Structure 1
Amino acid sequence: MTKKPPVVALVVYSNFSPFHFAVPYLVFSAQTADGPLFDLKIVSSGGRQMAAERALTMQPDGGLELADGADILVVPGWDDLDARPEPELVDAMARAHARGAHVVGLCYGAYALAYAGLLDGRRASTHWMAEKDFGKRFPRIRLDMNALYVDEDKLITSAGTGAGLDCCLYLVREYFGARIANKVARTLVIPPHREGGQAQFIEQPMAASTQDAQLNRLLDHLRANLDQAHSIDELAARTAMSRRTFTRHFSKATGMTVVDWLVNERLQRSRDLLETTALSVDRIAGLAGFQTPTSFRQHFKKRFHVSPRDWRRTFGEKAAARQG
């Protein structure tokens, strides 16, 4: 007797994002020679037709009662971060989790799970742009802002839009193994597994100028000479301060220690060089001011969770690869 495919309940809601909906729709609609991998059902509260952000309406297969037989319940994004899910959806998610189904919040869909109380005391992920807001609203949730997706007790949350694909492919691997997941990934022309996390995609702000003109001149000097070694005593003398006064003054003005500020600026410089030149990693380490290539790789990996080489492969310009 042929085993029935796992049932996926894909939730649509008012003003849903077509892209966020399309990600799980594509993955969980995957076909093999033996038929569909999953039994995909589109559901909404009350079985109502739902309008997307623009020029699209969705007629679901039925109401949230269809989710009661689902192995996977997916909330693809969330339109209004201030809006709590309807009680009917909260109950559907709670029942799904209680019976051992996977409950998934893709990107801002983590808000739906968080409002329902399912993530309290657990680790979760969401888009990096929502880090402060999510943390303020849900202090009992341990937010992992590097993970592309988090699975804790079958409660799965993911980072931004692209990470939704990673998350859905993870579920394909869970149910059918790596071979089938790789096959689905090839069909979608995406990697079956990405290295690193969303730390590599978060905008890293440049260290701001301060209100101190003298210190700003020093910061400009340091930025122009990142490839050189700088001691605290030398910098204190340059500003005509004692070592203790200078370190206190620098920390108050920039919010960082001198060492942390230099590492931050050197990582920024190295990212720019990796993205826009074909210089070797060892050469970039020197130009950015790291004492050794090993030190550079260690700092880079710690900050961005990928190697400099992987960063270049992801973000480097094609023109840079043809230089030299």
Structure 2
Amino acid sequence: MTAQNEADYIHWLDSLWAERLLAARDRKPDVSVGILLWPTFPMMSLTGVVEPLRHAADFADSSRPIHCRWSIMGKPGYEAVASCGISVRVDAPYINPTDFDYVVVIGGLLPHLQAAPAAHRDYVRVAASAGVPLIGACTGSFVLAQEGLLVGRKAAIHPFHAEDFRVAFPRQPFSTRDDFLIEDGRITVPGGVSILSLMTELIRNHCGPDRAAKAVYQLSLSDQKTMSNFDHERASAFRHVGDARVQRAIVLIESRKGRDVSPEQIAATIGLSPRQFTRLFQTHIGMSPKHFIVETRLRYVRFLLDNSVLSVTAIAHETGFSDSAHLATAFRKKYQSSPSEFRHRRN
């Protein structure tokens, strides 16, 4: 099959799948992120948060906010001007912070940290009091430190800002060698491409390895050492899918929603023996192809439970399980409930 034919085939499969699904109704996503922008914020920090979420949020390249959602918050009409001069208008008011899994503070140029609306800082303090994990991105870590929200924790700071941070917060421990640090409800990330490492890790934790791998593939992240000046050991393993054969395998599995595909078929498609393919996939993804296929199918099952009226038996058939009993066993192992219990809880 040529590359063009393969692309056409994948598009056709996705079209058939889309036609079979009902429109997604409101549901709680796997991960939800609220964003606060400080004046002169770095545009790369914003896109570094949003783009991995966008790719992980849906199948193929549909970009519907199904598995992941995000909101840029502020008073109606508020616009934050990035350091590059581009204005970004808020798309949501100050939402109850407990509706989010994370609240991200994206700081701006140091002289402008006091220029943000006072309501931004009020919201950050309320979110902290409510126990919502806070992410300080770029100089957002300065904001968290100014609010006394990094006490007893180490911060990940960009080397460029190290001396400024040391002078401003002489008793605050920090590191310039980490892509990100997660400590007791606070996450700090220096900015730049390090944010991609962090978001891939959060997606993996909340949405599963297949969503993380998809984000990595869609963003074309490589294993080049020039990608980051920070400690690569802290980055998610899914960032390092540098082998084109593994990337192609991920796309083939994901485009079919894990259905009608086997490790042996994929191995033949990419020109490897089953044993070679399994070893290569395990090395790059951290699980066997068979496990990855099941994870993808189960995620499709969960989508259908949330967004269709199909019976569990029909969903089992739709997703390639031999019967509802086999589906129930696999689903309970993954989600600690039966498909029927899961559907009932979500309604």
TM-score normalised to structure 1 length: 0.54
1:98 aligned onto 2:143: no
Per-residue CA deviations over 1:34-60 (Å, capped at 9, x if unaligned) read 963212111135651222234422221
Q: Which residue number in structure 2 is paired with residue 63 of structure 1?
A: 93
| Superimposed CA distance per residue, residues 284-317 of structure 1 (whole angstroms, 9 cap, x where no aligned partner) | xxxxxxxxxxxxxxxxxxxxxxxxxxxxxxxxxx
Q: 1:45 to 1:35 in 2, by over 3 A?
A: closer
AA aligned opposite 1:9 = G
- Who is 2:331 aligned against? none
Q: Which amino acid letter does the alignment assign opposite residue 79 of structure 2? A: Q
Q: Is the 8 A contact 2:179 2:198 kept in 1?
A: yes
Instruction: Name 1:29's counterpart in structure 2.
Output: 54
In the alignment, the residues of structure 1 paired with residue 109 and residue 205 of structure 2 have an alpha-carbon distance, to the nearest angstrom, of 28
Q: Which moved further from structure 2: 173-182 or 130-139?
A: 173-182
Residue number in structure 2 paired with 1:268: none
1:176 alignment partner in structure 2: 207
* Aligned mates of 1:51, 1:144 — CA distance in 2: 29
Q: Find runs of 4+ consecutive structure 1 residues off by over 6 angstroms.
A: 192-197
* CA distance in structure 2 between the partners assigned to 1:83 and 1:28 by the alignment: 26
In 1, distance between residues paired with 2:110 and 2:93? 21
Aligned partner of 1:4 in structure 2 is 28
2-structure distance, mates of 1:146, 1:99 = 30
CA distance in 2, matches of 1:199, 1:181: 21
Question: Does 1 or 2 have the higher relative contact order (CA < 8 Å, sep 6+)?
Answer: 2
CA positional deviation for 1:99? 2.5
Q: 2:171 aligns with which of 123, 137, 140?
A: 140
Which letter does structure 2 place at the counterpart of 1:72? Y
Pick which of 143-152 and 108-117 moved more: 108-117
- TM-score by length of structure 2 reads 0.51
SS at match of 1:40: strand
CA contact (8 A) 2:75 2:90 kept: no
Query: What's the counterpart of residue 276 of structure 2?
Result: none
1:127 alignment counterpart: 158
2:133 counterpart letter in structure 1: H
- The one-letter code of the counterpart of 2:214 is K
Higher mean displacement: 188-197 or 74-83: 188-197
Residue 194 of structure 1 deviates from its aligned partner by: 8.5
CA distance in 1, matches of 2:43, 2:191: 14
Contact 2:103 2:133 in 1 (8 A): yes
Aligned to 2:102: 72
CA contact (8 A) 2:35 2:71 kept: yes
User: Which residue of 171, 188, 192 corresponds with 1:161?
Assistant: 192
Match of 1:108 in 2: 139
Find the counterpart in structure 1 of residue 42 from structure 2.
Answer: 17
Identity, % of aligned positions: 22
Change (3 A) 1:81 1:148: farther
Q: How many pairs are equivalent?
A: 201
Alpha carbons of 1:118 and 1:181: their partners in 2 closer, same or farther (altered >3 Å)? same
Which shifted more, 104-113 or 60-69? 60-69
1:117 is displaced (CA, Å) by 1.0
- Counterparts of 1:198 and 1:86, CA distance in 2: 33
| SS of equivalent residue, structure 1 residue 44 | coil
Q: Distance in 1 between matches of 2:65 and 2:77?
A: 27
Counterpart Cα distance in 1 of 2:169 and 2:81: 28
1:213-232: per-residue Cα shift (whole Å, max 9, x none)?
xxxxxxxxxxxxxxxxxxxx
Match for residue 324 of structure 2?
Answer: none
**Root-mean-square deviation over aligned CA pairs:** 3.1
Secondary structure of 1:101's aligned partner: coil
Unaligned runs of 5+ in 1: 202-324
Aligned pairs for 1:1-324 (under 5 A) are: 4-5=28-29, 6-30=31-55, 31-33=57-59, 36-45=66-75, 48-65=78-95, 67=97, 69-81=99-111, 83-84=113-114, 86-191=117-222, 198-199=229-230
One-letter identity of the residue aligned with 1:43: M
Q: Bigger radius of gyration, 1 or 2?
A: 1
Q: Is the 8 A contact 2:49 2:199 kept in 1?
A: yes
